[in-house]
Structure 1
Amino acid sequence: MTTDAAHYFATKLAHETDASDVYAAQKADEDFILVDVRGDEAWRQGRITGAIHIPYAQIAQRAATEISPGTPVVVYCWSPGCNAGAKGAFEFARLGYSVKEMIGGYEYWVREGQPTENDEGPLPRVFDPQVMVVHDKS
C-alpha cells in the first residue's frame, strides 16, 4: 500500500504545481511558459503577469505556432472549481508538451498576492490570511 501511495503522489506532483511554486519559478527565471486557458472576458478582467493567453479550446490549433515544442508549459484557469486547466493540460500533453496544471488557478494566485494585470496595467496586490501567513508590517 505504501508503494501505491508513493507512486500516486509522485505522479501527481509530476503533473501539477501551485501558485507559490510558479511565482518562485518566475522570480528564478526558470524556463517555462505560463498559459492562461480561460476565455477572452476572463483574460481581459485580470491575468497573471507574464502569462500568455490561449483558451483551452484553441490549444490544438495555436500551440505549435506560439510555443516551441520543447518548452515546458504551466496552465491555469479560474479556481479549484474550474476544470479548464485540466482540459488545457490534456491538450498540451496530447501534443507532446511537458505540462503541469497550476492547482488553485487564478483565484489562489490572486489570494496569495502575486502580481496580476489587466489591459489597463497592474492590479492591486492583496494578501489573503485565509490561504497564507500574512506578516504584520507595523
Structure 2
Amino acid sequence: MTTARTLTVPAPAPEVAMNYFGAELAFEVDPDDLVRDLEAGHTDGYVVVETRAEEAFKAARIPGAINLPYKDMTAETTARLDKRLVYICYCESINCNAATKGALKLAELGFQVKRLSGGITSWIAAGYPVDGPGRTAAIRCAC
C-alpha cells in the first residue's frame, strides 16, 4: 500500500495545530474580515498601512489606508502614530515582502502589528473597493 504524498509527513497533534494556526491568525488579517469591518464602520483600534513606495500608494490603495513605506520607517517617521493601535500592513501580493518588512520595523519600534493576507492584489481580485486609478492598472511591487 502506497502512502499518499500529502500524508508523507504526518499531520501534527491537535494541540500543536491549535498553537500554530492560532499564532497564524494572530499575525494575519483576512481581506474579507477587513473589508467587512471597513464597510460596517468598525475602524476603531487599527490602522491600515500601505508599506510600498508612495507611487504605489497613489496608484491604488485600500480606502482609509495611510502610506508609510517600510524603507522610511524610523522612530522619527512613526512618532505621530498611536502605539495603542494595531497596524495592519499590506503590500502588493504574496510575491512582495514589503508588508512583512514594514510589520517587522513597526514591531521593532514598539507597535502592535498584523499583516493583510495577499496584499492589494488579492484585495482587488476579490472585487473590494480601491482608491486611486490602480483598479485597472497593473499593480506592481514598487518597494
1:14 is aligned to 26
How many matched pairs? 121
Kindly provide the CA deviation profile for residues 105-130 of structure 1, in whole angstroms up to 9, marking residues without a partner as x.
Answer: 00011111111112x7x957xxxxxx
For the residues of structure 2 that align with 1:13 and 1:109, how far apart are their CA atoms?
18
What's the secondary structure of 2:43's corresponding residue?
Answer: coil
Cα displacement string for residues 82-106 of structure 1 (whole angstroms, at most 9, x for unaligned residues): 1111111111111222211001000
More strand by share: 1
User: In angstroms, what is the RMSD of aligned CA positions?
Assistant: 1.7
Q: Structure 1: 5+ residue runs without aligned partners?
A: 125-138
Matches within 5 A, 1:1-138: 1-28=13-40, 29-31=42-44, 32-60=46-74, 61-65=76-80, 67-118=81-132
Residue type matched to 2:77 in 1? R
Larger Rg, first or second structure (1 or 2):
2
Q: Could you tell me how far apart the structure 2 residues matched to 1:72 and 1:24 are? A: 17
Q: Output the CA distance in 1 between the equivalents of 2:73 and 2:65.
A: 15
Q: What is the TM-score normalised by the length of structure 2?
A: 0.77
Q: Deviations over 1:23-69 (max 9, x none)?
A: 1122232321100001122112111111000001112231222x211
Q: Which residue of 2 aligns with 1:136?
A: none
* Contact 2:124–2:135 under 8 Å retained in 1: no
AA aligned opposite 1:8: Y
User: How far apart are 1:77 and its partner, in Å?
Assistant: 0.2
In 2, distance between residues paired with 1:104 and 1:71?
A: 22
Percent of aligned pairs with the same amino acid: 34
* Distance in 1 of aligned mates of 2:31 and 2:98: 16
Distance 2:91 2:120 in 1: 6
Q: Structure 1 residue runs of 4+, over 6 Å off?
A: none
Taking structure 1 as the reference length, what is the TM-score of the superposition? 0.80
Distance (whole Å) between structure 1 residues aligned to residue 39 and residue 105 of structure 2 = 27
